[in-house]
Each structure stands twice: as C-alpha cells, then as structure tokens.
Structure 1
Amino acid sequence: MKERIMGSMQAFSKAMFIPVLILPIAGILIALGNVFTNQKLIDIFPFLDNPVTTGLGMILSGSLVSILGNLGLIFCVGLTVGLAKKEKSVAGFTALLGYLVFVNAMNKFMELNGLLLKEDALQGTGQTLILGIQILDMGVFLGIILGIVTAYIHNKFIDTEFKGAAQIYGGSRFVFIVLIPVVILLAVALTYTWPFFQHGINGLGTIIHRSGNFGLFMYGALERLLIPTGLHHLVYTPFLYTSLGGVQEVGGHVFEGARNIYYAEIADPSVTRLSKSVIWDARGISKMFGLLGACLAMYHTARPENKAKVKAILIPAAFTSFVAGVTEPIEFSFMFVAPLLFVVHAVLSGLSFVVLSILDVRAIGPNGMIDFLLFNLPLGIAKTSWPMYILVGLVFFGIYYVTFRFLITKLNFKTIGREDHGKETKLYSKKEYREKKNQGKGEKLQNNSELAKIIIDALGKAENINTVTNCYTRLRLTLKNPELVNESILRNDTGASGIIVKGQNVHVVYGLRVTSIRKAVDQYLGRKEND
C-alpha cells in the first residue's frame, strides 16, 4: 500500500510538470512587456519611446495575463496529458471537452436552484466567471480535480472496443461517453461540498500566514528535503498557484497564488510596490549563491591531486545552478555521501526565506540569475528591493562556504575529490564521461543510441521497463523489478549524478541533458511519445 501511494504521488508530481513548467514562459514574456512599457526605462533609453515597442509591450502583457485567469483549464489539460498512459493527445482533447461540460453543468444547476449571485458583484462571494460562465470559484483546484478524474477514466476505458455498428463508439469516444455523466454529477456534488473545502483551504492559508517566519522556514526547508523523493514540486506548487500563497486584487481582478499575483502586478503599471506574497517564490538564494559556496568549499577541501578534476566537474554544475536554477547535480554530489550536509542545505534554504521576509525584500529569482535579471531589474529598486536580495545572497554564499568547509573537514565527509584512493567521484563532466567510456575500446560514442543501450541494460534490459518519462533534470521510470538496476554503471558509464529507487519508481538524475537522453531511450526501445 505504501509503495502504491508513493507511486501515485510521484506520478502526480511528474504530471504537474506539464502545466507548471510552461507558466514561467508566460511570466518572462509579461516581464518583457513590462520592459517595453516601463516609463523609467523609457526615460533612460529614449529609443523605447515609439509605438512599435510600447504597443508590443502592451500586447504581451495584456494577452499573457489572461493565462492566469484560466489556470483551471491549463492544469486540467496538462495533468490529464501527464497522467494518461497512452494516447496522450486524445486524453488532452477529452479533458478540454470535460472541462467545458463541467463548467456549463455547474452553471445550469446553480441557476436552476437559484444559487447564482449578481454578476456585477462577485468579488469575495466565492463565485467567479470562468470562460465567461458564472460558477463557484475553485481556482486551480478545479483543473487538478478534473485532470485526475479525466485521466483515470481515460486510462480505464481507452482500450474498450465494441463490435458491429457500435464499434464507432469505442476507444476515445467511449471515454467521453463515460466522462459526461461523471463530470455532471461531480458538478452537482461540488456545488454543495466545495464551499466547505474552500473554507478549510482558506483556514489553512490563514494558519500558514499567521505562522509568519516559521511557516516560511518550514516551506523552504521542506522544498529541499523532499528532492530525493521527487515530491518537492508538491510543496511549492500550491503556494505559487492557489490561495495558500495569498489572495490579492490587481487591476480590478482577484488573483490567487504567489506567482500569479506577481505576474499580474508586474504587468500593472499602477503597482508601485510588489506584495509580500512574492516571498513564497524567492527560492533563488540557495540556487544562485548558497550552492556556489558549497561548491567552493568542496573544491578547497578536495585532495590536492584531485583538484583539477574537481574543478572540471563543479564549475559546469555551479554555473548551471547559478544561471538556470538547476541544483540537483550539485545536491546529489553530497546528498548520499554526507546526508548531514543536505540537511544543513535545507535548513539554510529555509532561513533564506525568513531573512528576505524580515528585510521586506520583494525580489524573486526562482530559476537562477536569468529569471532574476528579467523579472526584477526592469521593475526598479522601489518595487522590488533587488540590491538587498543580492546582498542577502552574498551573505548566504559565505555562510554555506564556512559551514560546508567546517563540516567536511571536521567529519571527514567523502565529498567530490575526497574519496578513498581507488574510488572515483560520482559526478562526471561530459569530457570525463566520454574518456572513461572509451577506455580500452579505442573509439568514441557515435550517438545517443549507444548511450541509450547502456542505460537500458543497466536498468535490467528493455523487458524490465514499463514506462519512461522525464522532468527537468531526471529520467523517471517505472520498472517491473527495480532490483535489477545497476547503479554503478548508471553513475560511472552514463554520467548520472544520482539514482533514486522508491518501490517500482526509479529516478536517474542527468541534469539539463535529460530530454535528449529520454528521446534516445524512447527511440532505442521503439516507443513513441504516446505509448
């Protein structure tokens, strides 16, 4: 039972990537639109004062903010696609149809029972307009619920076939036939039950916000501590996209969730100071500064004869963390050889949120320096206090460095470059990986097909692999027999920086190259994306 629950949670976490990872693109374009319409920047750069760039800025901001008002639909389709085991495109189309049926069914049921309020006074009433249709305000939870329900029905009935004249109603058509009564009954049930859930969610949000800095600390620490399980996305996603992260009126519209509020506020020129809710999305201190201090500490504590290799390994990993916010290659370099360092890392990450809150900093950098520059600099110091964010980051760089160096030397942790003689490091640069793989063979890898074969063999051969997907940095698989996994080959021969086995779920960490690796594995297995 425990393994089934963990497997379901990991599948859900994995599916959340589809809607969650696309939303920052909208945020970056909204920020770009803000650059073209920011009067302070126009005063500094007069060439921006023209109808082409200002018009483009207004179009970018105005059009993409609309995405924030339709997160329910985005999460419904995205989750369904992520959770569907086959024919994912059909599942996404079915989810769209189910969403439309649900919204209209709830509206008609509320209308028949006299539950609809006046449309011109919905703010704060628990009702809202979705696609121009008035229903209960369920926010992103509507998309999550319908996404899970649609994916379950799709997976259960997609292979249903009939004979004779009824055969045209099999497959995806039968899925939709089953889905219609389910979503209608769900709309009726949620009309009466959702207000109680909403009251509970609002109460939880109140408790979290009233807990102040302690709540921020726990949030930041848990978001790091759950990385080995792959469930850390379930910590920050509710705060970024639901009322747990705050509720704010911006430009006459009410937005829920730290990131939604932030995107709305940077698109509204009348906002002179960002709301404090943005701190829930200020995860960049440990990514841009803290882990750089940890890397420097590991380099300085490495054996003298290993420092050249350690430098070649850590510099690319540190650069990726600083620029793009991808931290797992660094974290997995000490997570298992020195778990205490990982706990310290989580604690310091939580403390960074507290410090930003105390200093009333409103800048964010969730995915590294690129995001930090795009989101904060155009808004100005008054709106974000971004120089203080940099200062806090430099302080944490020093704290990480001193703490890691002290613990590594005091407790003799076998971090990169400190391994016992005869043992190799567990994180490889691309050059070292190729050199190691080619020893004794006299030839280089010609393409990813050879790498895919090594990975598949190390996972217990093709027949042991049930499913293959990936997130931002991990190859995520479900295996028939996880005991067949050869972790040594995955680490030493394919450059994996970490392997996590939880029941039948196996995660292999490859960093930013994971997408190309996943495609190579799929191609070698002869599988298509929808298989």
Structure 2
Amino acid sequence: MKEKIMNSLQRFSKAMFIPVLILPIVGVLIAVSNIFTNVRLLELLPFLNHPFIQDFFAVLSKALVSILSNLGLIFCVGLTVGLAQKKRSEAGFTAVLSFLIFIYSMNKFMEIKDMLLKNIPLSGTGQTLVLGVQILDMGIFLGLMLGIVTAYIHNRFCEIEFNNALQIYGGSRFVFIVLIPVVVILSVCLTYLWPFVQHGILSLGQFINHSGGVGIFLYGMLERILIPTGLHHLVYTPFLYSPLGGVVEINGTVLEGARNIYYAEMADPTILHLSPTVIWDARGISKMFGLLGACLAMYQTAKPKNRAKVKAILVPAAFASLIAGVTEPIEFTFLFVAPILFIVHAMLSGLSMVVLNLLDIRAIGPNGIIDFLLFNLPLGIEKTDWPYYILVGLVFFVLYYLIFKFLIIKLNLKTLGRESSGQDTKLYSKNDYKEKQQKRTDHQPNDDIDAKLIVTLLGGPDNIENVDNCYTRLRLIIRDVAVVDEDNLKLQTGASAVIKKGNNVQVVYGLKINAVRRAVDAHLINIPTTN
C-alpha cells in the first residue's frame, strides 16, 4: 500500500510539472514587459518611450496575466494530459470540455438556489468569475480536482469500443459521455462542500503565514529534501498559486498565492514594498550562492592529483546552478556518496529563507541569476532590497564552504576526487562524451546521445512502460527494475544519478534532458515491442 501511494504521488507530481513548467516563462516575460515600461528606464533611455514599444509590452503583459487569471483551466488540462496513459491529446481536449461543463453547471445550480451574489464586488466574497462565469472561488484546486477526475475516467474508458451503430460512441466520446453526469454531480456537491474547504484552506494559510521562521524553515527544507522523491513540486506549487501562500487585495482585486501576488505588485508602481508572501518564492540563495560554496569545498578537499578532473566536472554544474537554477546534478553528486551533506544543504536552504524574512528582504531568484536580474533590478532597491539579498547570498556562500569542508574532512566523506581506489563519482564531462561516442554502433538523432544504449541499459524496450521527463531527469515506469544497469547508465551514458522507487526509475541527465528524451522517444518509436 505504501508503495502504491508513493507511486501515485510521484505520478501526480510529475503530471503537475506540465503546467508548472510554463508559469516561470510567463513570469519572465511579465518581468521583461515591466522593464520596458519602467519609468526610471524610460528616463535613461527616452527612445523606448515610443507608442509602439509601450503599446506592445502593455498588450504582452495583459495577455500573459490572463494565464495567471485562469490557472484552474491550465492545471485541469495540464494535469489531465500528464496523468493520461494513452491518447493524451484527446484527454486534453476532454479536460477543456469537463471544465466548461463544471463552471456552467455550478453557476446554474447556484442561480436556481439563489446563491449568486449580485450587484456587489466579488473580491473577498468566496465567489469569482471564471471565463466570465460566476462560481465559487476554487482557484487551482478546481483544476487539480477536475484534472484527476478527467484523467481517471479517460484512462478507464478511452479504449472501450462498441459494434455496429453504437461504434461512433466508443473511445474518447464514451469518456465524455461518462464525464457529463460525473462532473455535473461534482459541481452540485462542491457548491455545498467547498465553502467549508475554503474556510479550512484560508485558516491553514493564515496559520502558516503567521508561524514565522518555523514555517518558512520547514517549507525551505522540505522543498529541497524531497528532491530525490520527485515530490518537491507538491510543496512549493500550493504556496505559489493558492491561498496557502497568502491572500492580498490589490486595487480591489483579491489575489492568492505568493507568485500571483508578486506579479501584481511588480506591475503596480504605487506599491513601494513587496508583500511578505514573496518569501515563499525566495529559493535562490542556495542555488546562486550556497551550492557554489559547496562545489568549492569539494574541489579543495579533493586529492591534489584529482583536482583538475574535479574542476572540469564541477565548473559546468556550478554554472548551471548559478545561471539557470538547475541544482540536481550537484545535489545528487553528494546525495549518494554522503547523504549528510544533502541534509545539511536542505537545512541551510530553509535557513536562508528565514534570514531573508527576518531582514525583511523581498527580492527573489527562483531560477538563478537571470531570473534574479529580470525580477528585481527593474523594481529598484526600495521595493526589493536586492543588494542585501546578494549580501546574504555571499554570507551563505561562506557558510556552505566552511560547513561542507569541515564535514568532508572530519567525516572523511568520499566526495568528488576523494573516492577509494576503483570507484568513480562523476557528473558529466567531455571525457564521458568521447568514451560514449567511441562505443556507439548506431548513429543517433543527437550526436552525443546514444538512445539505443540507454534503452538497453534500462532493460530493453519491452521493459519500459512509460517515458517522461522534468527539468533534469528522465522519468520512467519500468516493468522489472532489477535489470536496470545503474552503474553503466552513469558510466556510459553520462547520467549523474539513477533513482529507483518501486517501478519508478529516474535517470538524472541535467540540462541535456530534453535532447535525451527526444532521442529515447525516437528510438522506441522505431523499435517493435511486445507490449
């Protein structure tokens, strides 16, 4: 039962990554729009104050904000597609239909029961407009619930076919037929139940936001320590996009979630200081500064004869963490050889957020220095206190360096360059790629990716039930995990780690993961299987 629950949570977390992956792009483009319409920048560069430029970025910002205003629909479709086992495009289309049926059903039922509020602003009343339809304000939870329900029914009935005259009602059309009464009944039930759930969520959010440093520390630590399980998305997503991350009224509009509040406050020049809820998105200290200190400690504690090799491995990984916020290659480097370092890293990550909160620093850098520059510099020092964020980051760089160096030497931890004879711990380097190219027998779509070898080391195409990926990991459902060749996946294909949990296998490839996924998909399509 425990394994089934864990597998379900991992599938849910992996599916959530589809909509979550889009939202940072939205944030970056909103930040860019804010830069080009910033009053201070226009004073320095008056040529930007051209009607065409200003109108373009005003339209861009408004268009992107519409995504944040319809997160329920986005999560519904994204989660359905992610959880669908077959016919994903049809599942996504069905999700849109179920969402529309739900909001119009709830609206009509509330109208019949005279529950709709009239002639008053809806902000803060528990009701809102979704695609222009007035219903209970369920936020992303509506999308999560409908996504799960739609995906479950789709997976169960999408391959049912009928004969003769009823043939037209088979497959995805039968899924839609089943969904109609289910969604209508669900909308009626939630009309009565959701106000109680809503009250509970708001109360929990208020408790968490008033728990001070304890709550922030636990959030920051859990967001890191759950990385190996792939469940860390379940920690930060509710805080960024639901009332758990705060509820703030801006210009008569009630906004929920740290990320949504931040975007609104970023675009409003009359707000001089960002809300305390922004702290839930302040995950950049460990990424931009802390892990760089850890890399320096691992380099300096390596055996002198191995330092050149260790440097070649750590510099690209540290650069990826600094620039793009991709931390997993570094984290997995010491996770499997010295788990205590990973625990210390998670605790320091939580501590860094507590320090930012105590010093009232509202700058953020969730995905590396590029995000940091785009989000904070245009808002100015008064609004974000970004120079103090950098100062705190430098302090944590030193802390990481000193603590990691002390632990590595004191406990004689076998980090990079300190391995016993015959052992090798690596991320990925040019030597790995050269060795891999020499052993290749078939030309692959990507010159440095041997998809045939990867599939073979995973037990062959017949052993692979499902292939997916996130930022840095190839996520697979494997029939027989015992035949997965973990050592050679790392030695021959450039994987920095292989994680096994039940039938779920995650192979960490870092920033080249999209190319790996495409190569593996292309190879599996061209190989007949006995699935």
TM-based fold match above 0.5: yes
Partners in 1 of 2:25 and 2:112 — Cα distance?
A: 41
Shift of 1:79: 0.5
Per the normalisation by structure 1, the TM-score is 0.97
C-alpha distance in structure 2 between counterparts of 1:301 and 1:198, whole Å: 52
Residue 153 of structure 1 corresponds to 153
Cα deviation, residue 527, structure 1: 7.1
Aligned partner of 2:416 in structure 1 is 416
Aligned partner of residue 498 in structure 2, secondary structure: strand
CA deviation string 1:451-493 (max 9, x = no partner): 1111111111111111000011110000111111111011111
Partner of 1:511: 510
Q: Partner residue of 1:274?
A: 274
- Contact 1:245–1:257 (Cα < 8 Å) also in 2: yes
CA contact (8 A) 2:444 2:451 kept: no
Pick which of 302-311 and 60-69 moved more: 60-69
Corresponding residue of 1:329: 329
Aligned to 1:56: 56
Please say if residues 499 and 508 of structure 1, whose CA atoms lie closer than 8 Å, have aligned partners that are also in contact: yes
Unaligned runs of 5+ in 2: none
Alignment partner of 1:481 is 2:490:
no
CA shift, 1:54, in A, is 1.5
Q: Deviations over 1:484-504 (max 9, x none)?
A: 111101111111111111100
Alignment-derived partner of residue 432 in structure 1: 431
Write the letter of the residue equivalent to 1:457.
T
Q: What is the letter of the counterpart of residue 486 of structure 1?
A: D
Are 1:36 and 1:56, in contact at CA under 8 Å, matched by a contact in 2? no
How big is the shift at 1:78?
0.7
Please, which runs of 5 or more residues in structure 1 have no aligned partner?
Answer: none
What does 1:122-271 align with in structure 2 at a 5 Å threshold? Answer: 122-271=122-271
Determine if the alignment matches structure 1 residue 356 to structure 2 residue 356.
Answer: yes
Inter-partner Cα distance in structure 1 for 2:57 and 2:384:
20
Superposition TM-score, scaled by structure 2 size: 0.97
1:449-464 map, 5 Å: 451-464=450-463
- Please name the residue that 2:389 is paired with: 389
Q: Give the 3-state SS of the residue equivalent to 1:121 in structure 2.
A: coil
**Deviation string, structure 1 residues 99-132 (Cα, Å, up to 9, x no partner):** 0000000000011011111153322211111111
Query: Aligned residue for 1:68?
Result: 68
Give 1:198's aligned amino acid.
Q
Matches of 2:444 and 2:309, distance apart in 1? 25
- Matched with 1:467 is 466
- The number of aligned residues is 527
Q: Are the equivalent residues in 2 in contact too, given 1:61–1:267 (CA < 8 A)?
A: no
* Range that drifts further, 223-232 or 118-127: 118-127
8 Å contact kept, 1:16–1:78 = yes
Give the partner amino acid of 2:406.
F
1:68–1:155 CA distance, 2 compared to 1 (3 A): same
Q: CA deviation at 1:199?
A: 1.3
Indicate conservation of the 8 Å contact 1:35/1:57, yes or no.
no
State the match for 2:10 in structure 1.
10
Q: Distance in 2 between matches of 1:252 and 1:372?
A: 29
Structure 1 CA distance for aligned equivalents of residues 289 and 462 of structure 2: 43
| Structure 1 range deviating more: 263-272 or 95-104 | 263-272
Letter of the 2:140 counterpart: V
Which residue identity is paired with 2:506? H
Contact kept? 2:248, 2:254, Cα under 8 Å: yes
Tell me how far apart the structure 2 counterparts of residues 37 and 467 of structure 1 sit (CA, whole Å): 45
Partner of 2:524: 525
Q: Distance in 1 between matches of 2:155 and 2:212?
A: 42
CA distance in 2, matches of 1:438, 1:223: 37
Partner of 2:129, secondary structure, is strand
**Contact 2:258/2:277 (CA < 8 Å) preserved in 1?**
yes
Q: Which structure ranks higher in relative contact order (CA pairs < 8 Å, sequence separation ≥ 6)?
A: 1
Could you tell me how far apart the structure 1 residues matched to 2:445 and 2:97 are? Answer: 42
Give the aligned residue type for 1:485: V
Percent identity, aligned pairs only? 66
| Alpha-carbon distance change, 141 to 442 in structure 1, aligned in 2, over 3 angstroms | closer
* Residues 13 and 231 in structure 1, CA contact (< 8 A), matched pair in contact too: yes
| Structure 1 residues 452 and 171, CA gap change in structure 2 (3 angstroms) | same
- Secondary structure of the corresponding residue to residue 81 of structure 1: helix
Instruction: Spell out, residue by residue over 1:325-370, the C-alpha distance to the aligned partner (whole angstroms, 9 max, x if none).
Output: 0000000000011111111001100000000001101110000001
Q: Tell me the amino acid that sits aligned with residue 245 of structure 1.
A: G
Aligned to 1:494: 493
For the aligned residue pairs, the C-alpha RMSD in angstroms reads 1.6
Q: Report the equivalent of 2:118.
A: 118
| Post-superposition CA distance 1:35-58 (Å, at most 9, x none) | 111111111222222212221221
Query: Which range moves more in the overlay, 168-177 or 419-428?
Result: 419-428
Any idea what SS the aligned residue of 1:367 has? Answer: coil
Number of the residue aligned with 1:37? 37
